[in-house]
A and B are shown apart, each in its own frame.
Chain A
Amino acid sequence: MEQKTEFKKEHNEKSWFDKYYKLMLIIPLIIILLSMLYVYNFYSQTGEIFKRDVSLSGGTTITLQNEQGNIDIGGLEKQLLVEYTDLSFRKLTDIRTGEAIAVIIESSSQPEPLRKSIEEIVGYNLDDKNSSTEFTGSGLSDNFYRQLMLALAMSFVLMSIVIFILFRTMIPSLAIILAAFGDIVIPLAIVDYFGIKLSAAGIAAFLMLIGYCVDTNILLTTRAIKTREGKVNSRISGAFRTGIIMNISALCAVLPAFFLITGLPDSFRQIFLILALGLTADILNTWLTNVSIIKWYCDKKGIE
């Protein structure tokens, strides 16, 4: 009985998939293209491909503890904004009570004046017990930024080399590399759209994404072209059933850090946000982009 439904499903999938797989490729290609255009547009307007936070552009981050909940957060933000126009203001909340346990204040200012202004408003002195101060000089942060972008490029190239060594065939390898590119550019466009300021840790997350996202692509390509049991379509659908669980479980590992447990260091949360965006984009890029190309390749090469 089970075998029968399995067969039917495969049969259905086959006809549907055989008919439309080339069309399926268009959807992700359009999304990737739109993302690229959006990032390009962002670049032509701002001169950067994303907004940098103070760890990459230079400035000060002060994290103010609010354990007793006695800081008037709204008032503090309003008053500081008068003096520091580039100020960014975020809250860290406790998961159980939902109350702000700390406030993160970022500005391109030097630490001393910013600390003084905050002290004046909250009415007490900031010390190393009730606050944290992080300062990055602009020379260093520019340097960090350039190097991390270089590292990102290196990482992409190294990953591509590994893929070529693994499969030793042009089209399937390029398909994976295209999917990996989509996994980076789509989250980047989303980050730009929401105006999220990326930190050094955020770029590191993009590097990780490069390594993290290709495992489903490797699974798909291996099953499709390296093995010969059953038909191509059934191998692909088998790969999909395995791969989608991989995507889901990987998302399960990264999503709680962003949505459930909010009282974590900012750098930490950003890593998981980028990974979550990338893994979501990867579902699209593996199971629409890569899958269509590999099917096309198999058809052309007569792989059954």
Chain B
Amino acid sequence: MKLNWKIWVLIIALVVSVLFIAPWSVFEKGVVIKSIDKNSTESFSGLKSGMIITGINTYTINNLEDYSVAVSEIFSNTTSQLKVTVKTKDGSFILLMNQPFKMVVGAIPSSKIKTGLDLSGGARALVRPVNVTLSDSEMADLVSVTSERFNIYGLKDITIKPVKDLQGINYLLIEIAGATPTDLEDLVGQQGKFEGKIGNQTVFVGGKDISHVERSGQQAGIESCQTAQDNSEYCRFSFPITLTEEAAKRQADITSKLGISQEDPQYLSEKLDLYIDGNLMDSLFISKDLKGQVTTKISISGSGAGATRNDAIVAAEQSMKKLQTVLITGSLPYKLEIVKLDTISPNLGKEFTKNLIILALTVFAIISIVLFIKYRKLKITAAVVLTMFSEAFITLGIAALINWNLDAASIAGIIAGMGTGVNDQIVIIDESVSNAHISLKERIKRAFFIIIGAFFTIIAAMIPLFWAGAGMLKGFALTTILSVMAGILITRPAFAEILKKIQGD
């Protein structure tokens, strides 16, 4: 049987979609490297994120479980350097390590289709600078400062992008897949203006006056813990920072004018107050030996409290990490406001995904039954269902190609698109069987006038959604438009040809 080129286009589109979606990833074995620190042994050895690990030393790695077993057995009570061979699909890498890997690995995704936060779980924040409109380049700066904060804080797998709404207001959209970090609000919402003041004179500010922040090592960490009167626990942390020469001189200048404290003669009369975004975070005594001294190394401290000792240690460690992050990345020249913050449980998403698949199958089944009742022809019904499926599949293929995250609204768009697709096919069928005295070609041409008219009304109706509401509903508009486009350009012409063949039989 000779196939018309329109049918070939459909077949090719389907094959290409399969390639884009790559559903065979289900059968792939191994674990994928999700993120890797730039300055780590892993990174120096040549391992990169995205590589698939299939073995470590003599262990075969098929899944995440194999990986964690292998790592814990290889590194169990190791103090000396070990030679570790990591086998990946891109070759083997040899690492000399004395502690377990720090890179983050994950299961290989079962296809290239990515699901949105509401289906896969994770966190999303929409942040807006207060009272200022940022230019595109300032927005890019904000993106890089925020990315750096996350990076230094140690969070990976994050998308940060600027979005603009219908009124031209800039937002920063931050999306984190999977788990939600507890400090998300502080990391994205903080201006990060850090100041050290003695009296009302500023000694140094975060970023420009600080040349180095000690983040680990013996001098950085929890200093002491104690129990408060109400039985809650309280821990102090401290870490050294290095001031620039200029800031150190300024400090010497200010301290030279201070007297000795009346209450405790070991210290100077004023304290060094540390502020974050204008809020007093801590007040430190200044040793009398430091009076008028140019010293670049000073110790920053703070505290954390909790119901138990452990809680207090965790709280203190977290606020230390946060403070270090802010000190390193410096502050933003404006305040930020979190205007939207969503954290979605991955467990609910699983339930939703399952139900969406059931829904899609139900819709297929019901429409097939309705059409079969109407036309009483198996071939026609099969052709419609096949076309409907192709449209949805090609839309998914395009979404996979452009790396679109499919959220629930996007999938609603695909299902609604299937509905319009069926409508168009009904028009083609009915036009092709009516008015037997006009040529079939002419009748199908007429059907396409209606279909193209309906196509443009859908496009016209959905276009405003690309911008309205900071693009939060872009997915819905995009998949609807993609699926009607796939319909009009690929599946419907092919369907008309298939129908001609069926009618010709």
Contacts and interface: CB of A to CB of B under 8 A. Distances in A.
B374 A245 contact: yes
B473 interface: yes
Contacts, number: 258
A105 interface: no
Interface stretch (A9-17, A73-81, A149-157, A289-297): A149-157
Contact of A158 (B422, B461, B472): B461
A144 B470 CA distance: 8
B457 A238 contact: no
Interface of B is mostly: helix
A41 interface: no
Interface residues of B, number: 81
B426 A249 contact: yes
A218 B180 CA distance: 48
A63 B339 CA distance: 19
Contacts of A246: 422-423, 426-427
Nearest to B424: A215
A131 B180 CA distance: 11
Contacts of B169: 143
B443 to A, nearest CB: 10
B77 interface: no
Contact of A210 (B434, B437, B461): B461
Contacts of B463: 154-155, 158
Interface in B58-83: none
A121 interface: no
Chain A interface residue number, banded:
35 or more
Interface string A49-70: 0000000000000010101000
Contacts of A147: 165-167, 467-469
Contact of A162 (B348, B371, B435, B460): B460
B416 A268 contact: no
Contacts of A238: 430, 434
Given A204-B473, A250-B419, A257-B415, A162 B457 contact: yes
B125 to A, nearest CB: 9
Given A143-B167, A219-B427, A208 B409 contact: no
A254 B363 CA distance: 8
Interface in B313-353: 337-348, 351-352
A215 B169 CA distance: 35
A249 B166 contact: no
B118 to A, nearest CB: 6
Contacts of A151: 166, 464-465, 467-469
22 contacts: A65-B347, A95-B355, A128-B121, A134-B340, A134-B344, A136-B340, A139-B337, A143-B167, A151-B469, A163-B453, A204-B409, A215-B457, A218-B453, A219-B427, A222-B450, A245-B370, A250-B419, A252-B366, A253-B416, A261-B358, A264-B355, A265-B352
Given A130-B347, A253-B367, 20 more contacts: A63-B348, A128-B180, A136-B339, A144-B468, A147-B165, A150-B464, A158-B464, A162-B460, A207-B464, A218-B457, A229-B438, A242-B427, A249-B426, A252-B363, A252-B370, A261-B362, A264-B355, A268-B352, A268-B412, A271-B412
